[in-house]
Structure 1
Amino acid sequence: MMSSLNPDLVRALAGGAVIGLAAAMFVLLNGRIAGISGILGGLLRPVRSELGWRIAFLLGLILSPLAFVLFAPLPDVHVEAGKASLIVGGLLVGLGTRYGSGCTSGHGVCGIARLSPRSLAATAAFMLAGFATVFVLRHLAAAGTV
């Protein structure tokens, strides 16, 4: 008897494989880590010779949902947080990437693949902070505080 795979699991596995392949190809072809905060940060203090690939990379990230729509509909996204929470969250992520010397894509995808001790520690810290945040917010929401 053949069991069917959960479509969400298949999409998650395919997405992870594509992200891993893209990160590997980026480092092999470009000699650089595909850390989004570093790529974006490089545009804030541009070096002319690096401007083209940085813009192309970010345009690819922004435009890729248009290519995705050719194969499957975009998922419905429901954001329950208010604008103030989203702004504060975005600023905290930016601050964290600065103090953490990188973001989840740089540390979590590329750094772990290279077995970088700093990236292993950073990714563990990201995960623990995420778990703690969800735990606290869910309990505060259950208590009616948030």
Structure 2
Amino acid sequence: MKTRRDFIKTGLALGAGFSLVDLGGLFAAGTPHPAAGTVAPGTARPLLVAVRDSDRVTMLDKALETLGGIGAFVRPGQTVLIKPNMGWDVRPERGANTHPSLIARLVKLCRGAGARSVSVFDNTCDQWERCYEHSGVAQAAREAGAVVVN
């Protein structure tokens, strides 16, 4: 059995060893790569984008633009189902669910792209009636022109 002293020595040795190893920035916050958020001309559009802004709706718009616009996902005459996260019985300020402003914007974009109908649905963790109401998503979706599915 090791002594406490041996345990501390081993821990210090491992810590020192990790400080000498280049982990490729695995734990570094750093600045984003210069090409982050851009697509080289003539290449396929990205499958995933990261966007920074202080306004969530602006971030949604920028992300969709980088991915080819809403038209890359929604065609005229299609039926669209938006599945936000509204699984928790909490207000939008808590940040546990998709913010209602994002759902409203997405519904409007889908309708603007010619979607025949737009529905919003989620399988909630808490009581669905309370989640739909308290998250603000149901109201925002209805006001933007979507059908909210129970």
* TM beyond 0.5: no
**TM-score, L = length of structure 2:** 0.21
Q: Which has the higher strand share?
A: 2
Q: Which has the higher helix share?
A: 1
Of structures 1 and 2, the larger Rg is shown by 2
